[in-house]
Chains A and B, each alone.
Chain A
């Protein structure tokens, strides 16, 4: 056996345990749910006896609630990611200068990120309570009528959005800040000598240099935003009506309330497809970026 082959074998031996584990916890369930999505597999009759082909997918597509959920999800994802990015970038820029109490700000920023979404949901549910919530209490002090934060179909969507931004924006800020901190300082000094204003430096240097970091941050947050589930579960259970019924919650309902495992599996794969498409699209943008010379 040549050295090269022996080395390769050793590599496989070392990789095997983790490959087996990954296979067991990822590939097996994925494969299982994929096959489920093609059969009449329910909790009442959990068997692969009746092959349906794409019927489960057709059923999902013809369900108006599915389209509602897809629309709510897209709206939610696009809005949270753009709000978090815009606000996050501004905050990151503010923190990326010589200011006092940086440590304090970092600590405050990290707190929401390390909290469990369920806990965050419960806390906000209390804060947003129409009668007992502290938010309406303060609004009352300045003479504003109490708002039904989670009970009103339009308001509920925005409330969930706000809570999600509150919790997830730290991630965006920290990621962008890490990028800003590692930018070389000489291009900025060269631009300063040339008389560029702070805004011109932002547009001509910071943003172009930050592009890879920005795209990475946006991609990661997009993927996570598609999977938002626990917050919805705690705050609104998809309601009122179906106004906050994001796809992941819709799938949960189909599975555990509708007990229609097969159609839920089909919907999951549609969600996966949507996310993949978006991510592939974003990665295309990243990789078509010219290599940045440091």
Chain B
């Protein structure tokens, strides 16, 4: 049985169409991320699944049960909010115990469960602190423990990491994922951060203007974006505007590139080049046979830690090339270079598809 099925969900606020025809099926134990720019309807989908918003049209099934008219507290979902939403007047332990206290469970059982949960989110010893005595990361762990306290069947997380600083965010990212796998809990996660989506998810749902653009594994989304928007939103890319010939040759300015993956046969087209797909050398002798070759001049070199990103000006367009730091051997701004790529890599889309 599917853990969650959302079928043709529509939701408008006044004349804002927040979600349009959203359909998604989730397996039990799966971690699915809704990814898209701010305002694309991610939160609305999540809140409709939680039961805080009523669908204009469409169905929501939670473990096979049609849930459109079931109130939030009866849906068996746990939710973590972006701004923690802890009860400021209650201690960590009281926050976590809230749902159990509401259900009037026996004190010793509550105490035991709170202890387990604190251990799970690595906060043992902080049970008597108040939220204002915790760091952002700790507060979000408490929120997570509170959401898990009643053993929900589905966990909903709405940008739980976006209010935290980079270091904590990265750490918690891994922890949430490990915890989710350990508990095997079906999780629907919302973020606008592509890196978060790529690192945490089993599958990613990319959305734009309330419409699903693509559903797929992180690898599929990154390697095989379905349109320029997805290519632009997930990962870094350079875009070249040109023309396709016979579905094989991409003409850009006075260059001709051989390509193998084109969605266009003839006519105006947009080529997507990932920085990692491009290679860069000083002399033409080092270019493998069959590569597409461009000449350019280095305009900027930025060091990103594990990789070096080089901005190359080619025919008045800036194209990004990335290479592992250890393979970087000292290009400088102003160097004349040769950039090449295999015909297997670039994707070509019809021109009318916009990246924004």
Complex CA–CA separation, A209 to B89 (angstroms): 8
Complex CA–CA separation, A192 to B75 (angstroms): 11
* Contact with A189, one of B72, B87, B90, B146 (Cβ below 8 angstroms): B72
* Interface 0/1 of A263-294, CB less than 8 Å to B: 00000000000000000000000000011111
The yes or no answer to A44 lying at the interface (CB within 8 A) is no
Q: A290-B130, A293-B131 are in contact. Are A193 and B50 (CB under 8 A)?
A: yes
Q: Is the CB of B88 within 8 A of A293?
A: yes
The yes or no answer to B52 lying at the interface (CB within 8 A) is yes
Which residues of chain B from 77 to 112 have a CB within 8 Å of any chain A CB? Answer: 77-79, 81, 83-90, 98-99, 102-103
Q: Is the CB of B85 within 8 A of A189?
A: yes
The yes or no answer to B150 lying at the interface (CB within 8 A) is yes
The yes or no answer to A191 lying at the interface (CB within 8 A) is yes
The yes or no answer to A195 lying at the interface (CB within 8 A) is yes
The yes or no answer to A200 lying at the interface (CB within 8 A) is yes
The yes or no answer to A63 lying at the interface (CB within 8 A) is no
* Interface 0/1 of B117-160, CB less than 8 Å to A: 00000000000001110000000000100110110000000000
The yes or no answer to A184 lying at the interface (CB within 8 A) is yes
Q: Is the CB of A193 within 8 A of B78?
A: yes
Q: A195-B99, A200-B102 are in contact. Are A208 and B87 (CB under 8 A)?
A: yes
Inside 8 A of B146's CB, which chain A residues have their CB? 190, 194
The yes or no answer to B73 lying at the interface (CB within 8 A) is yes
The minimal Cβ–Cβ distance linking A186 to chain B, given in whole angstroms, is 3
Main secondary structure of the interface of A (DSSP, over half): helix
Inside 8 A of B132's CB, which chain A residues have their CB? 290-293
Which residues of chain A from 52 to 99 have a CB within 8 Å of any chain B CB? Answer: none
Q: Is the CB of A191 within 8 A of B98?
A: yes
Inside 8 A of A196's CB, which chain B residues have their CB? 73, 98, 102
Complex CA–CA separation, A186 to B84 (angstroms): 8
Inside 8 A of B89's CB, which chain A residues have their CB? 208-209, 290, 292
Q: A194-B150, A293-B131 are in contact. Are A189 and B52 (CB under 8 A)?
A: yes
Residue from B78, B83, B89, B90 having most chain A Cβ neighbours under 10 A = B89
The minimal Cβ–Cβ distance linking B56 to chain A, given in whole angstroms, is 17
Q: Is the CB of A192 within 8 A of B86?
A: no
Which residues of chain A from 178 to 202 have a CB within 8 Å of any chain B CB? Answer: 184, 186-187, 189-196, 200
The yes or no answer to A204 lying at the interface (CB within 8 A) is yes
Q: Is the CB of A190 within 8 A of B79?
A: yes
Q: Is the CB of A194 within 8 A of B88?
A: no
The minimal Cβ–Cβ distance linking B132 to chain A, given in whole angstroms, is 4
The minimal Cβ–Cβ distance linking B74 to chain A, given in whole angstroms, is 8
Kindly report which residue of chain B lies nearest to residue A292, judged by CB atoms. B88
Inside 8 A of B79's CB, which chain A residues have their CB? 189-190, 193
Q: A290-B130, A291-B132 are in contact. Are A190 and B81 (CB under 8 A)?
A: yes
Kindly report which residue of chain B lies nearest to residue A195, judged by CB atoms. B73
Complex CA–CA separation, A294 to B88 (angstroms): 8
Q: A208-B88, A208-B89, A209-B88 are in contact. Are A194 and B99 (CB under 8 A)?
A: yes
Q: A187-B87, A208-B87, A208-B88 are in contact. Are A194 and B81 (CB under 8 A)?
A: no
Complex CA–CA separation, A189 to B132 (angstroms): 20
Inside 8 A of B143's CB, which chain A residues have their CB? 190
The yes or no answer to A205 lying at the interface (CB within 8 A) is yes
The minimal Cβ–Cβ distance linking B128 to chain A, given in whole angstroms, is 13
Q: Is the CB of A192 within 8 A of B73?
A: yes
Inside 8 A of B81's CB, which chain A residues have their CB? 186, 189-190
Complex CA–CA separation, A291 to B130 (angstroms): 10
Complex CA–CA separation, A209 to B52 (angstroms): 22
Complex CA–CA separation, A32 to B50 (angstroms): 66
Q: Is the CB of A204 within 8 A of B130?
A: no
Complex CA–CA separation, A292 to B132 (angstroms): 7
Complex CA–CA separation, A293 to B102 (angstroms): 23
Q: Is the CB of B50 within 8 A of A194?
A: no
Which residues of chain B from 41 to 75 have a CB within 8 Å of any chain A CB? Answer: 50, 52, 71-73
Complex CA–CA separation, A200 to B227 (angstroms): 49
Complex CA–CA separation, A195 to B84 (angstroms): 18
Residue from B88, B90, B150 having most chain A Cβ neighbours under 10 A = B88
Inside 8 A of A189's CB, which chain B residues have their CB? 50, 52, 72, 79, 81, 85
Inside 8 A of B84's CB, which chain A residues have their CB? 186
Kindly report which residue of chain B lies nearest to residue A190, judged by CB atoms. B85
Q: A189-B79, A208-B87 are in contact. Are A194 and B131 (CB under 8 A)?
A: no
Q: Is the CB of A195 within 8 A of B85?
A: no
Inside 8 A of B149's CB, which chain A residues have their CB? 194
Q: Is the CB of A205 within 8 A of B87?
A: yes
Complex CA–CA separation, A96 to B147 (angstroms): 27
* Contact with A195, one of B52, B83, B88, B103 (Cβ below 8 angstroms): B103
Inside 8 A of A186's CB, which chain B residues have their CB? 81, 83-85
Closest 3 CB pairs of A and B: A186-B85, A194-B99, A208-B89
18 further contact pairs, Cβ within 8 A, besides A190-B81, A193-B79, A292-B132: A184-B83, A184-B85, A186-B81, A187-B85, A189-B72, A190-B79, A192-B72, A193-B72, A193-B73, A195-B73, A195-B99, A200-B102, A204-B98, A208-B89, A209-B89, A291-B132, A292-B89, A293-B131
8 contacts between A and B (CB under 8 A): A187-B85, A189-B79, A191-B87, A192-B73, A194-B149, A208-B89, A292-B132, A293-B132
